[in-house]
Structure 1
Amino acid sequence: MKKTGCAVLYLVAVVLLLGELHVNEAVTCNASELNPCATAIASGLPPSAACCSKLWEQQPCLCGYLKDPALKQYVNSPNARKVVSSCGVPTPSC
Structure 2
Amino acid sequence: MSYASWIPVMIVMTVLMVQVNVGMAQDCKLPFQLAPCLSFITSNIAPAADSQCCNVLHDQTSCLCSFVKNPVYAWILHLPGATTVANACSITIPDPSTCT
Q: TM-score range by the shorter chain?
A: 0.5 to 0.7
Query: Does 1:72 find its partner at 2:74?
Result: yes
Give the number of the structure whose residues are more often helix, by fraction. Answer: 1
RMSD: 1.9
After superposition, residues 49-88 of structure 1 pair within 5 angstroms as 49-88=51-90
What is the TM-score with the length of structure 1 in the denominator? 0.65
After superposition, residues 1-94 of structure 1 pair within 5 angstroms as 28-31=27-30, 32-48=32-48, 49-93=51-95, 94=99
Aligned-pair CA distance for 1:87? 0.5
Which structure's CA Rg is the greater one?
Answer: 1
CA deviation profile, 1:19-70 (whole Å, cap 9, x unmatched): xxxxxxxx81111100000000000112250000000000110110001111
Percent identity over the alignment?
A: 32
Provide structure 1 residue ranges, at least 5 long, that are not aligned to the other structure.
1-26
- CA change 1:87–1:57 in 2 (3 A) is same
Q: Which residue identity does 1:90 align to in structure 2?
A: T
Q: Which residue identity does 2:42 align to in structure 1?
A: A
The residue matched to 2:36 in structure 1 has which SS?
A: helix
Provide structure 2 residue ranges, at least 5 long, that are not aligned to the other structure.
1-25
What is the TM-score with the length of structure 2 in the denominator? 0.62
Would you say how many aligned residue pairs link Structure 1 and Structure 2? Answer: 69
